Amino acid sequence: MCPDAPLVLGIETSCDETGVGIVRGEALLADEIASSVDEHARFGGVVPEVASRAHLEAMVPTIERACRTAGVALRDLDAVAVTSGPGLAGALMVGVASAKALALSLGVPLYGVNHLASHVAVDIVEHGPLPEPTLALLVSGGHSSLLLVPDVTHDVRSLGSTIDDAAGEAFDKVARVLGMPFPGGPHIDRAARSGEVVLDFPRGLTTGRDMQRYRFDFSFSGLKTAVSRWVAAREASGEPVPVADVAASFQEAVVDVLTRKAVLACREHGVGHLQIGGGVAANSRLRAMAAERCEAAGIELRVPRPGLCTDNGAMVAALGAQMVLRGRTASELSLPADSSLPVTVVQS
C-alpha cells in the first residue's frame, strides 16, 4: 500500500444499505454496512421512508465503525465521496447531507458520484486498475445495463439497459411467486442448486426483429409472467410446484440472456474485458456461465467477490479515490441528490 495515496471515505445510501467504505488509493481499508433489509421484508420490497429513517440512525455509528476498522481518524481523510444518484430520493439525501457535513467540517473536497459507475469502480480494490476500455454488465435490483467504460471517472457510455424489470427485480418477483422471502435473489440461487433446468422459459429480446432493434437491451417482464402463469396452472391442477426446478429454469433464462448479450457486446465493440457488478453478480450460476462463455470467447472476466457486488460504501470510496488520483475537480457543496441521475453522468 502506498502511504501517500489519498485516503477517501465513501458513503452509500441509495437504497436500503447504509454503506461506509474507506480506501487508500486502490487499497480497501474498511467496508462497513448497516442494512435495513429486515425492516422491509414484510412489505415485499423496500419502503423509501423506512429506508431513509434507517440511514439517519445508522450513519454516525457506521462511519465510526469504518474509521475503527481502517485504523484512521476522520482528520486523516483527504476526501469524502458520496452516491448522489440514482436511487431513492430521501435515502440519497441522508447520504449527501452527511457527506457535505463531513467534508465541510474537515475542510476536504467532496465528490458526488454515480452509483452505477461505483459498481464498476469497486473492482479496482479487488483486482487492480480497470483495463480501459472495460465493458461492464451491471445487474441489480434497480438496474440492468451494459456499459462501455473508457474511463470510469468521466466517460461511461450506455450500450443498452432493461426496457421493463431489472434483473434483480425479476428475481425478487419470481421468488415471491415461489413463496420465498425478500430479497429473493439469494433464495432462488440456493434453491436452483438442487433443481434442474427442465422448463423452457422465454428469453426476451434475443431473436429476430427484437434482437435487431434491442441488441443490447433486456426485458424480463415476459419471463416473470411466464413463470407466474406456469406456477398458477400447476397449483390449479393440484400437483405440487417443483420449486427447485422452476428456480433453476428461471435463473437459467435470465443468466443465458445476460451473458449472451454481454459477450456479444464485447465482441462487437472489440473489448477484451468484461466486468460484472451489482447485486445479481453475486449469483452463482451467472458467475459460472459468464466464466465459461468468456473463456470460450477469449474475454477476460472480472467479477468482484459477492460482498462487493451488492451495495456498499467501498465502491463509492473506490471511485472517489480514482477521482482524486486523476485530478478531477471536486463537486460543489451545493451538490443535489438526484434520484434519476443518468448512468452516463459519473459525477454531479
Shortest gap between Cβ of 245 and ligand KG4 (angstroms)? 17
262 CB neighbour count, 10 Å cutoff? 27
Residue with cell 448522489: 84
Q: How many CA atoms lie within 13 A of 240 on its CB side?
A: 4
Among Zn ion, ligand KG4, none, partner that 201 touches (CB below 5 to 8 angstroms by kind) = none
Cβ closer to Zn ion: 123 or 311?
311
Q: How far is the CB of 77 from Zn ion (least distance, A)?
A: 24
Rounded-to-integer distance, Cα 348 and Cα 331, Å: 6
- Nearer of residues 8 and 170 to ligand KG4, judged by Cβ: 170
List contacts with ligand KG4 (CB under 6 A).
15, 140-142, 168, 171-172, 183-186, 189, 278-280, 282-283, 310-311
Residue 172: contacted member of Zn ion, ligand KG4, none (CB under 5 to 8 Å, by partner type) = ligand KG4
Binding partner of 133, given Zn ion, ligand KG4, none, CB within 5-8 angstroms per partner class? none
Q: How many residues does the chain have?
A: 348
Transcribe 104-163 into DSSP letters: HHHT--EEEEEHHHHHHHTHHHHH-SPPSSEEEEEE-SS-EEEEEEEETTTEEEEEEEBS
Identify the residue among 12, 31, 311, 338 touching Zn ion (CB under 5 A): 311
**Interface pick for Zn ion out of 18, 52, 118, 140 (rule CB under 5 A):** 140
Residue with the CB atom nearest Zn ion in the bound state: 140
The entry of Zn ion, ligand KG4, none near residue 185 (CB within 5 to 8 angstroms by kind) is: ligand KG4
> Among residues 172 and 311, whose Cβ is nearest to Zn ion?
311
Write out the binding residues for Zn ion, residues 177-236 only, by CB under 5 A.
none
CB of 142 to Zn ion, least distance (A): 7
Q: Are the beta carbons of 149 and 162 closer than 8 angstroms? A: no
| H-run or E-run covering 76 | none
**Rounded distance, CA 225 to CA 174, Å?**
9
Tell me how far CA of residue 252 lies from CA of 182, 260, 300, in angstroms: 20, 12, 22
Q: Which residues of the chain form contacts with Zn ion (CB under 5 A)? A: 140, 311
